[in-house]
Amino acid sequence: MNGNIQLLTDTLAAAREEGRAALIAYLPAGFPTVDDGIAAATAVLDAGADVVEIGLPHSDPVLDGPVIQTADDIALRGGVRIADVMRTVREVHGATGKPVLVMTYWNPIDRYGVEHFTAELAEAGGAGCILPDLPVQESALWREHAGKHGLATVFVVAPSSRDERLAAITAAGSGFVYAASLMGVTGTRESVGREAESLVGRVRATTDLPVCVGLGVSDAAQAAEVAGFADGVIVGSAFVKRLLDAPDLPAGLAAVRTLAGELAQGVRRRA
Please measure the distance between the N-terminal and C-terminal CA atoms of the chain and give it in whole angstroms.
Answer: 34
Point out the residues that are catalytic: 53, 64
In a 3-state reduction of DSSP, which class is residue 209?
Answer: coil
Question: How far, in Å, are 148, 188, 203, 234 from residue 51 at the CA level?
Answer: 22, 29, 21, 9
In a 3-state reduction of DSSP, which class is residue 83?
Answer: helix
Single out the residue of 65, 46, 162, 47 nearest to residue 55, CA to CA.
Answer: 65
Instruction: Give CA–CA dist 173/196, Å, rounded.
Output: 19
Reported in sequence order, the residue ranges of the chain that DSSP labels E, i.e. its strands, are 22-28, 51-55, 100-103, 128-130, 152-154, 156-157, 177-180, 211-214, 232-235
Kindly write down the DSSP assignment for every residue of 68-99, as one continuous string: HHHHHHHHHHTT--HHHHHHHHHHHHHHH-S-
In degrees rounded to 5, what are phi and psi of residue 156? -105, 130
